[in-house]
Amino acid sequence: MKKHKKITLTLMSLTVLLLILTACAKENPRDLADEPIERTEFLLGTIANIKVYNENSEDALDKAFERVTQLDDWFAMQKEDSEISEVNRQAGIAPVEVSEEVFHVMERALYYAEESEGAFDPTIGAMTSLWNIGQENAAVPDEDKLNDVLDVVDYSLVELDEEKQTIFLKEEGMKVDLGGIAKGYITDEAARILKKEGVNTAIIDLGGDIVVVGNSTRGETEPWRVGIQDPFTERGEIMGLVELADSAIVTSGIYERNFEEDGKSYHHLLDPETGYPFDNNISGISIIADNAMDGDAIATAAFAMGVEKGLTYINEMAGVDIIYVTKDRKVYTSENISEKVSISDDSFEKAE
């Protein structure tokens, strides 16, 4: 029987929609423009959108996008001349000297792999390459091929040399895929560049990894209102709100990148232990943190853990919060964020 496949790739965030409200009609000492300076480009395999609300910030916006493009070239596993591709080509052969940025992100990725006991694993590249989720040729891999790569998905087989700034994958066939953390780092870098250039009110959205700079345009002490996407409807339909200022929110969900084969849907969040997508009750997840890089890795780990264990994991962290949306329309939040999350759709229920 011929297989029927339907591929869905969400280019903008399906989990979080940023509600940009107009400024209050009052004096604003931040020199905000009447309309944001905005640009959208296809980078990092997704839609990258930056809005800057300060006047005369065109140069700052240019520099932020230059930085995003540069880092995309270094981190992308799909680009043959990227630093990560060279690390993967030299697996089992030799260490590869990399840039300070790539080394830093790899180091941080291994930290979260260790902390989450492998729930987040940056060596999942050999597995993601078989599935190709998000690409036109996405398909369920041959089981034998999938079993063959399970042994090389092991973060403990990565060797870092801080002095020489090298990464070495000890086993042939290993592949690093930093997609679960690098996009967050790149989002943070865009925000850093904007701030360096004097921007104090902006939104950076790299395919659902969002950093809000400063407070909203409604006033110096007014937070941004971030809408939580309804995972069961079209993009733009929200089921709740959370208020944030000068922080990051990172999203992930089973509908973000997926494909259908023989009537069954497969999402992009793969279990390093089995090689197949995680099968739990979570539909969407949002991590709120000081920076998007940490939020990226934590989101993957918390999704893998499931709601109960994930909430315990997050509640023990300083400066990190979580919002879970489950398939049965329940919304779970970590302790510190609970009062800042409001549900606007009666079909969802905020769990106690």
Instruction: Specify binding-site residues for Mg(2+).
Output: 180, 296, 300
Phi, psi of 265 (to 5 degrees): -95, 140
C-alpha to C-alpha distance for 337 and 141, rounded to whole angstroms:
40
Q: Which of 314, 348, 292, 323 is nearest to 119 (CA)?
A: 314
**Residue ranges of the binding site:** 180, 296, 300
- The SS3 call for residue 112 is helix
Element (H, E) at 37: strand 32-43
Cβ within 8 Å of residue 101, ≥6 positions away: 71, 74, 185, 189
Of 181, 173, 187, 44, the residue nearest 110 (C-alpha):
181
- Which helix or strand (DSSP H or E) is residue 248 part of? strand 247-253
Parallel, antiparallel or unpaired: strands 224-229 and 238-244:
antiparallel
The rounded distance, in Å, linking the Cα atoms of 246 and 1 is: 53
Task: Name which of 90, 116, 103, 45 is nearest 299 in CA terms.
Answer: 116
Q: Could you give the residue ranges of the DSSP H alpha helices within 38-96?
A: 58-75, 83-89
